[in-house]
Amino acid sequence: MKPKRTMLLGAGGRVGRQIASEFMRRGLDIVAVDIMDAGLLQQVMARLHNDACLAVGATRSRVAVYGGVNALDEAVVGALLDKERPSLVINYAIPITWDASKRLPNYDRISAAGLGAFTPIQVLTPLAVARAMVAAGIECPYMVGNLPDITIPVITAMARDGSVRRPSVGAGNVGLNQVAMRRQAALELGVSFDAVEVNLVSHHVHWVAPREPGYSQHAPFMAQVMVDGEDVSGSFGGLRELMNRGVKNHYEAGAAFSSTTGILATRVAQALLDEGEHEHRLHAPAPNGLPGGYPLRIQNGRVEVALPDHWALQEAVAAMEQCQALDGVESISGDGAVQFTDAAREILRHETGFELPSVMQPGEVEAVAQAQIDTMTALFAR
């Protein structure tokens, strides 16, 4: 039997390197793919492999390295997929990162548009990879790290005609919120971290709101804090305040948070790769195409939402759709068309000069994304 291996696109980026490092420390095989120069990517992976050996004594992880690969080139990616036949595909490749926008003098005002206003850029690469997977006949699970709260629902809707691979789940955001909230609760109650459990349905906006300007503090969410099985949710003067304190107290200003995201992504990946009957419990965004993030169980490759008994899935999804609208995306239609909010469109028009369409149809993603990339690149060059 061919050993399991994970193809990681964007392996040379901040989060990609962290995921690669975590995989190596766990002895998991990786196919590292990045647009970075092949020689440099080889050196980066070699260093991470050495670090893994130092950290855990030795590692069985085998690493195949493919540098100089543009993840938007579906033919090239498809050929690599066909050659390597991975058991899991993870995408963290993106043409322009959100952090690049922070170099702009009017970033505070741009931020108010919401990261969802940059859905064209965010969805571009994972959509191309999803198409390449279908073309290469790769049916393994697909995990997306690019704004998964929104991009996975978009790609899932487009996947209904069979032309793209439907993502299974994402990583980040809700997991960042949940662990920060859990640790903050433990500190405030004076109990051990292990004694506290937090069930949380939250969105990208809840991670960003305490840290970035312009985000709403009224985005709905669902949360429950338990200590040794007892519900203590009323002990904190409000669960939104507890979540905000957790995010602010445990992630320093300017923190890239790539380590946390990388660890979360690796845990999700390990759960997806496990073909046994062990039940993996964790928090992750966009399970099976749902908007926002949820508590999950992953068992034998199956991803299921695992809400407390008194929570209704319909209520949780409705709350996440409201958050989506506060993040620049009014709605996502059944075929993957994205309607943007008027507020997001006005902010981008005024602050960047980019005319975000009212509705981006599935066939317009590449053109709209390229226009948005060109606009942002020109602003960075000033």
Whole-model pTM: value is 0.95
User: CATH number, domain at 43?
Assistant: 3.40.50.720
Residue 258 forms part of a structural domain = no
Q: Is the dihedral of CA 376, 247, 24, 57 positive or negative?
A: positive
Name the band, by pLDDT with cuts 50, 70 and 90, for residue 211.
confident
H/E stretch holding 283 reads strand 280-285
pLDDT (0 to 100) of residue 122: 95
Contact 109, 344 (CB under 8 A): no
- Phi-psi domain of 300 (left: phi exceeds 0; alpha: psi -120 through 50; beta: other): left
Contact 302, 288 (CB under 8 A): no
Contact 275, 301 (CB under 8 A): yes
Residue 161 forms part of a structural domain = yes
- Helices 38-56 and 14-25 cross at an angle (nearest 10°) of 40
DSSP assigned state of 213: T
pLDDT at 54 over 80: yes
Residue 245 forms part of a structural domain = no
Residue 218 forms part of a structural domain = no
Q: What is the CA radius of gyration of the chain?
A: 20
Residue 55 forms part of a structural domain = yes
H/E stretch holding 117 reads none
Q: How far apart are CA 40 and CA 297, in angstroms?
A: 38
pLDDT (0 to 100) of residue 1: 54
Structural domain range at position 114: 5-168
pLDDT (0 to 100) of residue 35: 97
Find the range with the poorest average confidence among 66-75, 103-112, 350-359: 103-112
Residue 158 forms part of a structural domain = yes
How far from each other are the two terminal CA atoms of the chain, in whole angstroms? 54
- Helices 365-381 and 119-135 cross at an angle (nearest 10°) of 130
Number of domains in the chain: 1
Residue 367 forms part of a structural domain = no
Task: Average the pLDDT over 225-250 and give the result.
Answer: 95
Tens-place pLDDT, residues 285-314: 999 999 999 999 999 989 999 999 999 999
pLDDT at 224 over 70: yes
Task: Average the pLDDT over 169-178 and give the result.
Answer: 92
Tens-place pLDDT, residues 26-38: 999 999 999 999 9
Closest Cα partner for 358 from 345, 349, 374, 376?
345
Residue 255 forms part of a structural domain = no
